[in-house]
C-alpha cells in the first residue's frame, strides 16, 4: 500500500513511498495528488530499468510520443520517447565544432544541458506535455543542486484584477527557436526548427483540477498574438518577473533513484547548478500526454 504525504500547508512537493515499481498501482490517487500539488516525488530504493520506468511514468497518464507537425504539415519525430537529460555534460571545443549550428538554449556555456531559468516543457508543440517525469540515474556527491518550482496558479491570483482581466483570453505564440526573444535567455536551434509555430492561452485551466494558472515559457515564446511584438514581449517579461518575485516556491533536493513528476499546467521549473563542472547529473525523462491547453 503506497503512502502519499502532501504538504500540510502552502506549496510543496508531495512524496510517495511504498510503491512497488514491478507492480505499480494507485494511479488515480497519484494523478490527483499531482493535480493538487503540482509536484510529486516517488522515493525508490533502486534505479529502474526502462520497462519499469515506463510503467511508473504511465501512472501519470499515457506517455507522449514526441511527434508534431512541421510548417509543411508533415509529421516529425522531434525526440525519442525516452530522453536522456545530461545536465552535467561538459561542452568541449571538439564537441562544439561537431555540433555546428545546433544549440540548446540555457545560459551555461560549459554545461548546455543545465537549464537554470524558469520554464515549462514542450510548449513549442500544439499539444504540450501535461506532465514531465524525471528519474535520477547519476547524481553528484552533493545531489547536484535542487530542482526549483514556481506555483503559477498563485502567480495568476496575485496579479492585480485589471491585469488579470486584460490578459485573460490572450494567446502566446511559440516556436522551437524563438531567436532570442527574451535575452539573456538563449534560443535553441536544430532539426526541430522545422516544426510549425503554435500558440497557447496565457491563462489556462487545469484539465483535472479546474484551477487557473499563468502559462508562459520565455525560452520558446516569440510574442503575444494581437499585440505589437515589443509590447507583447514586455508584458510577458513583466509577468515572468512578477511570478519569480511573488509566487510561492518549492524545491526538490535529489536523492538517488528518485522519480520526480511535475504538472506543466500549474508550475514552472528550473535546475540548480551548484555542483562542480565535470561531475555527473544524469536523468531519464518521459513526457506525459497533455492535449491542447484551454
Quote the pLDDT of residue 113: 66
| Chain segment 224-279, per-residue pLDDT in tens | 999 999 999 999 999 999 999 999 999 999 999 999 999 999 999 999 888 888 88
Is 99 or 77 the better-scoring residue by pLDDT? 77
For residue 100, pLDDT over 80 is answered with no
pLDDT given for residue 95 in this prediction: 66
Q: Domain segments of the chain: what residues? A: 3-288
pLDDT band at 91 (very low <50, low <70, confident <90, very high): low
Predicted pLDDT at 97: 72
CATH number, span 3-288: 3.60.130.10
**pLDDT of amino acid 65:** 97
* Residue 105 reports pLDDT greater than 80: no
SS (H, E, C) the chain: CCEEECCCCCCCCEEEECCCCCCCCCHHHHHHHHHHHCEEEECCCCCCCHHHHHHHHHHHCCECCCEEEECCCCEEECCCCCEEEECCCCCCHHHHHHHCCCEEEECCCCCCCCCCCCECCCCCCCCCCCEEEEEEEECCCCCCCCEEEEEHHHHHHCCCHHHHHHHCCCEEEECCCCCCCCCCCEEEECHHHHECCEEEECEEECCCCCCEEECCCCCCEEEECCCCHHHHHHHHHHHHHHHHHHCCEEEECCCCCCEEEEECCCEEEECCCCCCCCCCCEEEEEEECCCCCC
Res. 289 pLDDT band, cuts 50 70 90: very high
Residue identified by cell 535567455 is 185
Question: Does residue 83 carry a pLDDT above 80?
Answer: yes
Is residue 292 very low, low, confident or very high in pLDDT (cuts 50, 70, 90)?
very high
CB 263 within 8 A of CB 213: no
Whole-number pLDDT of residue 7: 95
Share of the chain above pLDDT 90, in %: 82
Of the spans 87-101, 136-150, 258-272, which averages the highest pLDDT?
258-272
Vertex 99 angle, CA 93 and 105, to 5°: 95
Provide the whole-model pTM.
0.94
Amino acid at each position: 500500500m503506497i503512502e502519499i504525504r502532501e504538504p500540510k500547508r502552502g506549496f510543496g512537493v508531495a512524496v510517495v513511498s511504498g510503491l512497488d515499481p514491478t507492480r505499480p498501482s494507485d494511479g488515480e490517487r497519484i494523478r490527483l495528488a499531482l493535480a493538487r500539488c503540482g509536484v510529486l516525488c516517488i522515493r525508490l530504493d533502486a534505479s529502474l530499468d526502462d520497462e519499469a520506468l515506463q510503467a511508473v511514468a504511465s501512472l501519470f497518464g499515457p506517455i507522449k510520443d514526441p511527434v508534431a507537425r512541421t510548417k509543411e504539415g508533415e509529421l516529425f519525430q522531434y525526440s525519442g520517447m525516452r530522453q536522456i537529460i545530461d545536465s552535467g555534460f561538459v561542452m568541449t571545443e571538439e564537441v562544439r565544432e561537431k555540433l555546428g549550428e545546433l544549440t540548446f538554449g540555457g545560459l551555461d556555456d560549459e554545461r548546455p544541458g543545465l537549464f537554470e531559468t524558469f520554464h515549462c516543457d514542450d510548449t513549442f508543440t500544439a499539444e504540450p506535455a501535461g506532465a514531465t517525469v524525471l528519474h535520477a540515474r547519476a547524481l553528484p556527491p552533493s545531489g547536484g543542486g535542487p530542482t526549483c518550482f514556481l506555483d503559477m496558479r498563485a502567480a495568476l491570483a496575485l496579479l492585480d484584477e485589471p491585469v488579470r482581466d486584460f490578459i485573460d483570453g490572450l494567446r502566446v505564440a511559440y516556436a522551437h527557436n524563438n531567436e532570442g526573444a527574451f535575452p539573456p535567455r538563449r534560443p535553441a536551434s536544430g532539426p526541430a526548427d522545422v516544426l510549425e509555430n503554435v500558440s497557447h492561452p496565457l491563462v489556462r485551466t487545469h484539465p483535472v483540477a479546474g484551477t487557473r494558472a499563468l502559462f508562459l515559457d520565455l525560452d520558446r515564446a516569440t510574442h503575444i498574438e494581437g499585440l505589437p511584438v515589443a509590447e507583447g514581449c514586455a508584458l510577458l517579461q513583466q509577468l515572468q518577473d512578477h511570478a519569480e518575485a511573488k509566487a510561492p516556491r518549492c524545491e526538490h533536493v535529489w536523492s538517488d533513484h528518485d522519480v520526480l513528476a511535475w504538472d506543466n499546467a500549474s508550475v514552472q521549473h528550473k535546475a540548480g547548478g551548484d555542483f562542480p563542472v565535470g561531475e555527473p547529473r544524469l536523468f531519464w525523462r518521459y513526457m506525459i500526454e497533455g492535449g491542447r491547453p484551454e
